[in-house]
Amino acid sequence: MRRLSELKKVVERWRELEKRVADLDELASLAEEDASLQAEIQSEVEAVASRLDELEFQMAFSGEYDDRNAILAIHAGAGGTESQDWAEMLMRMYLRWAERHGYRTEILDVSPGEEAGVKSVVIAISGDYANGYLRSEHGVHRLVRLSPFDADHARHTSFALVEVMPEAKADVDVKIDPADLKVETFRSSGPGGQHMQKTSSAVRLTHLPTGLVVTCQSERSQYRNKEIALRILQARLLELELARREEEKATLKGERVAAGWGNQIRSYVLHPYKMVKDHRTGYQTSDADAVLDGELDGFINAYLRSGLGREE
């Protein structure tokens, strides 16, 4: 039934476009008698062509979970405040990208940095094909700039790891036995007022069979923190299963480079020149400010069209 519902949505999108084309055809016949309609027709033709291109592009998605919402996690690398500030810059970049595309965003958990930035943040991004578009962002992102936190204003290199996971559907993709969960509560360590400091509202979940640990302390309610932590854990368990399948494929097809700390996927250079370059596709732009403001489509499209992330 879930699969049927998803396919119905796909059919509805194409039927809607079909109706727009039929209306456009009717409008074109009226334009033969009324020249003032030509501007309106031209505008609609461009809109229909753009929508057609978008739908055809979505057909290129081959991943089983590409049409899902995404859980995006950002982790600051070694380097203290400098890397934590970079992690926050990436957080803003993805929030702006989601806003531009009409996706809903929810910050599920955040661990603030000591002086500035964030140590880590987990964001839920909801909308059609959010995971399909964002999976190209999974990997290490490198920043080169003049540090605003250095008294000598020296050039620094910072790293942050971005993880992208499909949001799991409870009891469909992942079933968690309550007996396999170790639940601990503790007092929140980050800023948040006296309530967060005095009550044990933060939650730590440990999945005993895999050893996965998820903590959440963003909300004042212990129940809400546990609910969010379980949502993140389900996504991580699904990602673990997908990684296991990839390892099985790798033994048959050859080694596949993992998107871990040792393998940067993109560099953002702000000094001595401005350039953002993706090391997998070779796509690059000198408009680094626009990229950091959420203009990621060029990089995402280049990755998807290259077939690098395509499932065989």
* CATH number, residue 264: 3.30.70.1660
Q: Are residues 34 and 93 in the same domain?
A: no
Q: Are residues 202 and 247 in the same domain?
A: yes
Instruction: Give the strand pairing for 212-216 and 264-269.
Output: unpaired
CATH number at residue 205: 3.30.160.20
Asked if the structure places residue 173 within a domain, the reply is no
Domains contained in the chain, number: 3
Q: Are residues 141 and 280 in the same domain?
A: yes
The residues, ordered by sequence, that sit 6+ positions from 241 with a Cβ below 8 Å of its Cβ are: 174
**Residue pair 168/212 in contact by the 8 Å Cβ criterion:** no
Domain that holds residue 43: 2-58
3-class SS letters over 192-246: CCHHHHHCCCEEEEEECCCCEEEEECCCCCHHHHHHHHHHHHHHHHHHHHHHHHH
Among 215, 233, 253, identify where a domain stops: 253
Asked if the structure places residue 311 within a domain, the reply is no
Q: What's the pLDDT at 32? A: 74
Q: Are residues 86 and 156 in the same domain?
A: yes
Cα–Cα distance, 151 to 131 (Å, whole number) = 40
Check whether 260 has a pLDDT greater than 90: no
Q: What's the pLDDT at 247? A: 79
Q: What's the pLDDT at 228? A: 94
Q: Are residues 117 and 249 in the same domain?
A: no
**Residue pair 215/203 in contact by the 8 Å Cβ criterion:** yes
Q: Are residues 127 and 116 in the same domain?
A: yes
Q: Are residues 147 and 263 in the same domain?
A: yes
Q: How confident is the model at residue 245 (pLDDT cuts 50, 70, 90)?
A: confident
Q: Are residues 144 and 249 in the same domain?
A: no
Cα–Cα distance, 294 to 91 (Å, whole number) = 10
Q: Are residues 74 and 161 in the same domain?
A: yes
Tokens describing residue 260: 């871990």
Check whether 188 has a pLDDT greater than 80: no
Cα–Cα distance, 242 to 299 (Å, whole number) = 24
Q: How confident is the model at residue 195 (pLDDT cuts 50, 70, 90)?
A: very low
Asked if the structure places residue 64 within a domain, the reply is no
pLDDT per position as a tens digit, 104-149: 999 999 999 988 999 999 999 999 889 999 999 999 999 999 988 8
Q: Are residues 231 and 109 in the same domain?
A: no
Instruction: Using alpha carbons only, give the angle 258, 259, 262 rounded to the nearest 5 degrees.
Output: 90
**Residue pair 228/237 in contact by the 8 Å Cβ criterion:** no
Check whether 230 has a pLDDT greater than 70: yes
Establish how many alpha carbons lie within 13 A of residue 243's alpha carbon, considering only the half-sphere containing its beta carbon: 14
Cα–Cα distance, 30 to 162 (Å, whole number) = 53
Pick 201 or 126 by higher pLDDT. 126
Q: Which residue, among 51, 60, 68, has the nearest Cα to 15 in the 3D structure? A: 51
Q: What's the pLDDT at 244? A: 86
Cα–Cα distance, 256 to 244 (Å, whole number) = 12
Q: Are residues 228 and 96 in the same domain?
A: no
The residues, ordered by sequence, that sit 6+ positions from 300 with a Cβ below 8 Å of its Cβ are: 133, 134, 136, 137
Q: Are residues 136 and 18 in the same domain?
A: no
Share of the chain above pLDDT 90, in %: 56
